[in-house]
């Protein structure tokens, strides 16, 4: 229904890294939504 979310922690765990690495390596072309 479009309401699913993947947390930064989940993504980091799947990628074998830490959440900080995920959030700091996002490229400049990626649209950011601040909440």
- The pLDDT of residue 30 is 86
Which residues are CB-contacts of 21 (< 8 A; sequence separation ≥ 6)? 12, 15
Give CA–CA dist 18/29, Å, rounded.
22
pTM: 0.60
pLDDT by residue (tens digit) across 1-35?
789 999 999 999 999 999 999 888 888 888 888 88
- The pLDDT of residue 28 is 84
- Domain locations in the chain as residue ranges: 1-35
């Amino acid at each position: 229904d479009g309401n699913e979310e993947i947390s930064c922690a989940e993504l980091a765990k799947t990628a074998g890294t830490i959440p900080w690495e995920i959030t700091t390596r996002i490229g400049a072309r990626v649209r950011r939504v601040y909440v």
